[in-house]
Amino acid sequence: MTAYNRKLTFNRILIKLSGESLMGDKNSGISHPALKDIASEIHSVHQLGIQISIVLGGGNIFRGIKSSEYSIGRVTADYMGMLATVINALALKETLNAVGSVATVMTALEIDRVVEPYIRERALKHLDKGNIVIFAGGTGNPFFTTDTAATLKAKEINAQVILKATQVDGVYDRDPAKEPVTKLFRRISYEEVLRNKLRVIDLTAISMAMEQQIPIIVFNIGKRGNIEKIVSGHKVGTLISGEDNEG
């Protein structure tokens, strides 16, 4: 890995990717162009010397929260969703390796014939060696989202920030997909997100981030170069932190 001479705002980050970000123009599953674009974006940031961890969702394959649509119990459905995150993680790992970054998958589920089990000390060693670590399997427990898993992992590995990748430019006062006129926040407090139930990120995850004082930056993964801009100190998307909202 090559580190360039550049002042960086963060040295260790956790990127939260939804499963839907891997779909591209497809209605479900994994789009090869979308997967390669995301891997290339992450690789370019990795080349700067940033320690990178990733938590992946599985909504492009199966969402446990929609279990009632399939007449499947919620607990079973959540485990199915966790397995979907493993599929996505393996696909991203192989693509990252192909573009030149060394990546490994660790999971909260016990499937060690396929991926490594999550052990905090081992994850930290991977990061210190310069490997990208992809966390799959959520928290390993039903009823918890991958947003919550991302917040837990960020605290455990001492990540300086969570970068929440979305399909929009940040946090809005209303759903931009449903409302013609909305306001994009450049900075907003944890408390305001909770008070107004701005569901760009799971509210349990916001509560945990607030308790642990882990900043979250919500940004558009569809705009190339955004992650590199963030780690280089540019204002991109919405910063969720303990500071007051500045609009």
Is residue 247 predicted with pLDDT exceeding 50?
A: no
DSSP per position, 90-101: HHHHHHHHHHT-
Is residue 2 predicted with pLDDT exceeding 70?
A: no
Q: Residue 172 is which amino acid?
A: Y
Average pLDDT, the chain: 91
Give per-residue pLDDT as tens, 73-84. 989 999 999 999
Q: How far is CA 165 from CA 4, 48, 146, in A?
A: 24, 19, 13
Q: Are 121 and 156 in contact (CB under 8 A)?
A: no
Label residue 165 by pLDDT band (50, 70, 90): very high
Question: Phi and psi at residue 110, in whole multiples of 5°?
Answer: -90, 85
Give per-residue pLDDT as tens, 100-114. 999 999 999 999 889
Region of residue 81 (left: phi > 0; alpha: psi -120 to 50; beta: else): alpha
Give per-residue pLDDT as tens, 166-180. 999 999 988 877 877
Label residue 7 by pLDDT band (50, 70, 90): confident
For residue 58, what are the contacts with CB-CB under 8 A and spacing of at least 6? 19, 81, 82, 83, 84, 85, 87, 88, 146
Is residue 68 predicted with pLDDT exceeding 80?
A: no
% of the chain with per-residue pLDDT over 70: 94
Q: Are 45 and 96 in contact (CB under 8 A)?
A: no
Is residue 69 predicted with pLDDT exceeding 90?
A: no
Is residue 244 predicted with pLDDT exceeding 60?
A: no
Distance, in Å, from the CA atom of 15 to the CA atom of 50, rounded to the nearest integer, reads: 12
Is residue 3 predicted with pLDDT exceeding 50?
A: no
Label residue 70 by pLDDT band (50, 70, 90): confident
**Domains in the chain, CATH or no CATH each:** 12-241 (3.40.1160.10)
Give per-residue pLDDT as tens, 181-231. 789 999 999 999 999 988 888 999 999 999 999 999 999 999 999 999 999
pLDDT confidence of residue 175? 80
pLDDT confidence of residue 116? 95
Question: Phi and psi at residue 106, in whole multiples of 5°?
Answer: -125, 140
pLDDT confidence of residue 142? 93
Give per-residue pLDDT as tens, 27-66. 999 999 999 999 999 999 999 999 999 999 999 998 766 6
Q: Report the predicted TM-score, pTM, of the whole model to 2 decimal places.
A: 0.92
Distance, in Å, from the CA atom of 97 to the CA atom of 63, rounded to the nearest integer, reads: 27
**Beta strands of the chain (E only): which ranges?**
12-17, 51-56, 103-107, 116-117, 132-136, 161-166, 171-172, 184-185, 187-189, 216-220, 238-241
Question: Phi and psi at residue 83, in whole multiples of 5°?
Answer: -65, -35
